[in-house]
Amino acid sequence: MNKNNIIHTAPVLNPNDNTEELRQNIRIAALKLLYHNGYNAVTLKNISEIVDLELSDISELYSSQVEILTDVIQWAIKFGNTLGAELELITDPHVKIEKYIIFHFAFLDSNPAMATLLLADESISGSRRIESKLRQLRSHRIGLLKSILEDGKNDSQWVSDDAEQMTLLILGYMRMKIASWKQSNKQESLYVYGKTAARFILEILALKTRNN
């Protein structure tokens, strides 16, 4: 699977929409602050310094740190919707799982700060609004992968006693691989980590099927 064939499916900005371009710059700045310095560093003042804008300009678009982070998480959900639409076009469950996994890693390889949302579902707890959005993001990712596993089981492609449990195991393994990559100071491409992860998961599913 070619990395370039995966990256293009990420949400694309409308080049004629200056407001959306500005919002995207703010989202990226917020993610970088969250990734490198933690939740408390995501302030309108710090963001204004990164994007080189007056604080009043940012305040016209966002009223608070919470509103910015909520928008960031919503953008991640849109990424998931894009992936879901692409996976609907694939009939082979093995290819679907491979693409689901590799797509995440390839996207994070180009947008490493987004790893914060995948690694810190529980630690970004600034408000109920943010926590609610994070639950929505997590639920979407679980639901998409679970449906792939159930489709494969129904088509007798593999055996899985509990699709939901297997979903959580796979997502946990992905989180572990991403955390391992981050701790290694990114010495190897995250995309390579993703290919290894996808191959391992498919081997586990094949092994479970052979043993039943």
Residue 160: CB atoms within 10 A of its CB come to: 19
Residue 198 is predicted with a pLDDT of 93
Residue 204 is predicted with a pLDDT of 86
**Alpha-helix residue ranges (DSSP H) falling in 62-119:** 65-87, 93-110, 115-119
- Determine the Cα–Cα distance for residues 41 and 44; give it in Å rounded to an integer: 9
**Taking a C-beta distance cutoff of 8 angstroms, is the pair 107, 31 a contact?**
no
Per-residue pLDDT of the chain (212 residues; tens, 9 = 90+): 555 554 444 444 444 458 888 898 999 899 889 888 888 898 999 999 999 989 998 999 999 989 999 998 898 888 888 889 999 999 888 899 999 999 888 888 887 777 777 665 555 655 788 888 888 888 988 999 999 988 888 776 676 668 888 898 999 999 888 888 878 876 788 888 899 999 999 988 887 666 65
Residue 201 is predicted with a pLDDT of 92
For the whole model, what pTM was predicted? Answer: 0.79
As assigned by CATH, the class of the 4-210 domain is mainly alpha
Residue 104: CB atoms within 10 A of its CB come to: 26
Q: Domain segments of the chain: what residues? A: 4-210
**Taking a C-beta distance cutoff of 8 angstroms, is the pair 72, 61 a contact?**
no
- Determine the Cα–Cα distance for residues 55 and 82; give it in Å rounded to an integer: 32
- Determine the Cα–Cα distance for residues 61 and 134; give it in Å rounded to an integer: 21
